[in-house]
């Protein structure tokens, strides 16, 4: 987008320069005789030079020699990243956003009043998601608690009618070490729409802005998942509400799909693919997806690896790929059977591709010709 703006501005500048040059040539010349070739005279803040034209000496406006345009590096028409390039080629197939949809009703409860300046960013993310996914809409006003300290959050949740058991559960999740953290709350107050905590820790380097943008998708897309994938092949015994999709899916998919859906909603608006991630990618932990399938494994690695893996999934299987897996369980419980039902590939094949992709993106280790051919 910036490149396009710069191009337009340059074009306008050149056009205006051409107009100014024509006007200057037609402007009146200075009075007084021109008696010596090369003599200079300033007239109306412009320099005129005494010049011989035929047998006459006349004042001529001096025009600076145009400078040689700076060389502009040639830009590739296609990304050097095979996955990004493939998704860019798929952009024509990405649906347009529904511009008739408005942002769903939301109330932001802030500990720091100064954080008000970041609310327009959050509202834009809610709008993009609502225009991308029809399920991102609700009648009751949603609530986002935006704390800076645990004590404020606990007190405020109680004031807003959250039961004590819910407050204590959320306090157990409160993370003072991560740049940002969040959790959805399905059982705070029946008068609330979708509710979540969107926390930020300035003391460890967290900065407001795009990190909170990411938390919109991380903590509110659960409604999209639970609405679209409402069937439940197993009974769930849990001390608090939890969607079946939250149990059946590998942890890396459950967490990694949300930044991809967030990026997809943004791409519908911009028509350009860019995976929106909090940190630059690296091969976190073992770099093997199956090691980050259980809910008990590293939250950081399953998020970092998961987002890249789901991006690869989109490149291999199409824009609907993340939703297709969720929709392919049928009446059985095994997510790897559902994977085969969704894409035709065995899960082991995809996991091998993902490992290759991680190593290429992080360490420039060449990918196999088999995978590259799938990405062409």
Summarize pLDDT for 272-294 with one digit per residue, the tens. 999 887 667 888 888 999 898 88
pLDDT at position 44 is: 63
Q: Are 241 and 186 in contact (CB under 8 A)?
A: yes
Give, for 339, the enclosing helix (H) or strand (E).
helix 335-343
The strand pair at 46-53 and 56-61 is best described as: antiparallel
Identify which of 196, 197, 309, 211 has the alpha carbon closest to the alpha carbon of residue 251.
309
pLDDT at position 205 is: 58
152 pLDDT tier (thresholds 50, 70, 90): very high
Give CA–CA dist 56/261, Å, rounded: 75
DSSP secondary structure of 1-26: -HHHHHHHHHHHHHHHHHHHHHHHHH
Mean pLDDT over residues 135-153, rounded? 92
Residue 236 in this model has a pLDDT that exceeds 50: no
Q: Which residue has the higher pLDDT, 207 or 83?
A: 83
User: What is the spatial order of strands in the sheet that 195-200 belongs to?
Assistant: 106-110, 142-146, 195-200, 180-185
pLDDT at position 293 is: 86
- Pick the most confident of 224-228, 254-258, 295-299: 254-258
- Enter the tokens of residue 333: 């419980």
pLDDT at position 5 is: 31
- Reported in sequence order, the residue ranges of the chain that DSSP labels E, i.e. its strands, are 40-43, 46-53, 56-61, 106-110, 142-146, 180-185, 195-200
- Enter the tokens of residue 314: 């989109």
- Helices H / strands E in the chain, number of each: 14, 7
197 pLDDT tier (thresholds 50, 70, 90): very high
103 pLDDT tier (thresholds 50, 70, 90): very high
Least confident of 12-16, 191-195, 250-254: 12-16
Taking the model in full, what pTM does it have? 0.72
Q: What is the dihedral of CA 72, 78, 80, 81, to 10 degrees?
A: 140
- Pick the most confident of 36-40, 131-135, 323-327: 131-135
- Pick the most confident of 7-21, 107-121, 147-161: 147-161
Q: How many CB atoms lie within 10 A of CB 214?
A: 21
Partners of residue 56 on adjacent β-strands: 53
pLDDT tens column, 163-186: 999 999 999 988 877 777 888 888
Give CA–CA dist 34/57, Å, rounded: 6
pLDDT at position 70 is: 39
- Enter the tokens of residue 323: 């939703």
Query: Which residues touch 312 (CB under 8 Å, ≥6 apart)?
Result: 83, 353, 354, 357
Q: Are 191 and 139 in contact (CB under 8 A)?
A: no
The strand pair at 195-200 and 180-185 is best described as: antiparallel
Residue 55 in this model has a pLDDT that exceeds 70: no
Residue 160 in this model has a pLDDT that exceeds 60: yes
Give, for 156, the enclosing helix (H) or strand (E).
helix 150-159
H helical segments located in 174-330: 210-220, 222-228, 244-248, 251-270, 299-317, 321-326
Residue 306 in this model has a pLDDT that exceeds 90: yes
Residue 214 in this model has a pLDDT that exceeds 50: yes
Q: CA angle at residue 317 from 279 to 281, to 5 degrees?
A: 15
């Amino acid at each position: 987008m910036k490149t396009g703006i710069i191009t337009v501005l340059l074009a306008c500048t050149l056009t205006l320069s051409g107009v100014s040059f024509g006007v200057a040539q037609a402007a009146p010349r200075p009075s007084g005789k021109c008696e010596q070739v090369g003599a200079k005279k300033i007239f109306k803040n412009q320099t005129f030079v005494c010049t011989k034209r035929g047998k006459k000496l006349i004042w001529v406006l001096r025009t600076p020699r145009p400078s040689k345009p700076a060389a502009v590096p040639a830009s590739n028409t296609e990304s050097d990243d095979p996955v990004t390039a493939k998704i860019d080629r798929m952009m024509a197939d990405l649906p347009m956003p529904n511009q008739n949809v408005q942002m769903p009703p939301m109330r932001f409860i802030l500990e720091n009043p100064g954080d008000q300046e970041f609310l327009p960013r959050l509202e834009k993310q809610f709008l993009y998601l609502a225009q991308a996914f029809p399920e991102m809409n609700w009648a009751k006003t949603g609530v986002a608690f935006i704390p800076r300290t645990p004590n404020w959050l606990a007190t405020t949740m109680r004031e807003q009618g959250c039961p004590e058991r819910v407050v204590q559960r959320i306090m157990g999740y409160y993370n003072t070490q991560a740049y940002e953290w969040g959790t959805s709350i399905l059982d705070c107050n029946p008068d609330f729409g979708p509710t979540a905590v969107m926390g930020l820790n300035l003391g460890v380097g967290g900065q407001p802005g795009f990190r909170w943008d990411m938390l919109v998708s991380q903590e509110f897309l659960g409604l999209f998942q639970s609405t679209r994938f409402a069937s439940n092949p197993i009974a769930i015994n849990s001390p608090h509400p939890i969607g079946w999709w939250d149990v059946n899916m590998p942890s890396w998919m459950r967490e990694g799909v949300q930044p991809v859906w967030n990026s997809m909603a943004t791409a519908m608006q911009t028509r350009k693919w860019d995976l929106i991630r909090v940190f630059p990618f690296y091969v976190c932990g073992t770099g093997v997806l199956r090691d980050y399938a259980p809910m008990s494994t590293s939250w950081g690695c399953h998020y970092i690896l998961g987002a890249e893996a789901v991006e690869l999934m989109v490149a291999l299987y199409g824009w609907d790929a993340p939703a297709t897996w969720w929709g392919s369980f049928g009446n059985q419980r095994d997510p790897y059977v559902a994977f085969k039902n969704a894409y035709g590939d065995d899960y082991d094949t995809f996991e091998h591709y993902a490992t290759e992709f991680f190593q290429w993106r992080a360490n420039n280790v060449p990918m196999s010709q088999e995978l590259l051919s799938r990405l062409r």
